[in-house]
Amino acid sequence: MIELTIAANASNGQGNGVLNTNTGDLRIYAGFIKDNVDYIGHGAAIYTDDAAVNIKSSVITQAAGYGGPSCLTNGFGAIAALGENLSTDASCPGFTLTNEGTPLVQSMVTGLLTPNFPTPTCDLLAGSPAIDTAADCWDIGNVNLVDRDQRAVTRPQAAACDLGAFEHL
Q: What is the pLDDT of residues 68-96, one digit of tens each?
A: 788 888 888 899 999 899 988 888 899 98
CA 45 to chain centre: 8
When pLDDT is cut at 50, 70 and 90, the band that residue 3 belongs to is confident
Q: According to the 3-state scheme, what is the secondary structure of the chain?
A: CEEEEEECCEECCCCCCEEEECCCCEEEEEEEEECCEECCCCCCCEEEECCEEEEECCEEECCCCCCCCCEEEECCCEEEEECCCEECCCCCCCCEECCCCCCHHHCCECCCECCCCCCCECCECCCCCCCCCCCCCECCCCCCECCECCCCCECCCCCCCCCCCCCCC
pLDDT tens digits along 137-161 = 999 988 899 999 888 899 999 999 9
d(CA 79, CA 71): 8
